[in-house]
Amino acid sequence: MKPKTRLIHGGIFGDEATGAVSTPIYQVSTYKQEAVGKFKGYEYSRTGNPTRHALEELIADVEYGHAGFAFGSGMAAISSVMMLFSAGDHVILTDDVYGGTYRVMNKVLNRFGLEFTFVDTGDLEQVKAAVQENTKAVFIETPTNPLLKVTDIGAVATFAKGKGLLTIVDNTFMTPYFQNPISLGADIVLHSATKYIGGHSDVVAGLVVVNTAQLAEELHFVQNSVGAILGPQDSWLLMRGLKTLGIRMEETNTNAQQIAEFLDGNEAVEAVIYPGLDSHSGKALMEKQARGFGGMISFDVGSKEKADDLLAKLKYFTLAESLGAVESLISVPAQMTHASIPEDRRAELGITEGLVRISVGIEDVEDLIEDLQQALS
Ligand SMILES: *Cc1c(COP(=O)(O)O)cnc(C)c1O
């Protein structure tokens, strides 16, 4: 089954009880038991809900994993995955991970005795050098946000496996349609489904897929114990989003390539970062491990003032945090998504005041380019 078909025919197709082609929203918290302990697979909706279950089967299928899990947000998913570890354990992470990931590790989970080292996971030598006796996992984001740095998932996973470490990949930017980390050797893949998977700026959710029965059992125990689950309405919205993920990603990808090339040739733009440009050092690696370059472009207009000016003039790019929706969005990472990262650390990473990030939507690309053209001139 090809990826586009799998998004529609994967998991549990429709509703077995009624033949409904769309999985119903089982808006229910508890289930009647025939006798104590005698029930039809569901006892309480934190533990399991049929709508959430259908979504979990689908995401497991489209990520080629063993089992899927749905959470109330991407951060709930990431935090729950981290609860597979114990006080004293150490995890290596990509240095320019999503701001919220950096914050939860350094301000919350560190208080529970977990230890973290942030390195450029695009350089395998740095990953190797960061391994300690208590290291349990490598957590990768690729391409990163907002600098779009690329990590070789297969190379890290091979090294990690040799050391008995888990490889965890935040696959939000690429989506299961363009990149499948488990097929490349990763153990756990996770998504902020708020972004492309939901796809319409109307739901906050997180998804995780694991590659073994043991990890599935451990994560289900955490999901049920901690309880950061996704509700049935939002689970349904994600299944609806997944059905069109293929066509949306194709359109986004085509639009983004054209916009990146336009920006690259515009003199008001100092630098353009897009993995589909020849100037991007990760292009060949992206071609090896992914089926597209995605819809995220970062570019530098030189200063905070110029960035503000651009924002004020744009018509079709909505100033907003988040990404991955049908409508194009624009943000200034230093002031918005990455404001929780200390200023000196931002400077170290290269997240300058004039750096603008766009999430290319599926509007007509001619309108988008025209809009950027007028705002930059
Ligand atoms: C948004 C995002 C998250 C956090 O997800 P939420 O759904 O906002 O909690 C994690 N990782 C990446 C790459 C993201 O873009």
Q: Structure pTM?
A: 0.96
**Alpha carbon of 79 to ligand 1 centroid (Å):** 11
Catalytic residues, by residue number, are 46, 98, 170, 195
**Alpha carbon of 346 to ligand 1 centroid (Å):** 18
**Alpha carbon of 208 to ligand 1 centroid (Å):** 12
**Residue 145 alpha carbon, nearest atom of ligand 1:** 13
Ligand 1: residues within 6 Å at CB?
Answer: 73-75, 98, 100-101, 141, 145, 170, 172, 192, 194-195, 204, 206
- Which residues are paired to 272 by β-bridges? 299
**Structure token digits, residue 256:** 């983004």
Per-residue model confidence as pLDDT tens digits over 335-349:
888 887 788 888 887
Per-residue pLDDT of the chain (377 residues; tens, 9 = 90+): 999 999 999 999 888 889 999 999 999 999 999 999 899 999 999 999 999 999 999 999 999 999 999 999 999 999 999 999 999 999 999 998 988 999 999 999 999 999 999 999 999 999 999 999 999 999 999 999 889 999 999 999 999 999 999 999 999 999 999 999 999 999 999 999 999 999 999 999 999 999 999 999 999 999 999 999 999 999 999 999 999 999 999 999 999 999 999 999 999 999 999 999 999 999 999 999 999 999 999 999 999 999 999 999 999 999 998 999 999 999 999 888 888 778 888 888 789 999 999 999 999 999 999 999 999 99
**Alpha carbon of 57 to ligand 1 centroid (Å):** 21
Quick one: fold of 3-243?
Answer: Aspartate Aminotransferase; domain 2 (3.40.640)
State which of 104, 105, 191, 195 you would mutate to test the pocket of ligand 1, scoring each by most atoms of that ligand within 8 A of its C-beta.
195
Task: Say how many C-beta atoms besides its own lie within 10 A of residue 145's C-beta.
Answer: 24
CATH 3.40.640.10 location in the chain: 3-243
CATH code of the domain made up of 246-376: 3.90.1150.10
Annotate 112-167 with DSSP letters as a single string.
GT-EEEEE-TTSHHHHHHH--TTEEEEEEESS-TTT-----HHHHHHHHHHHT-EE
CATH 3.90.1150.10 location in the chain: 246-376
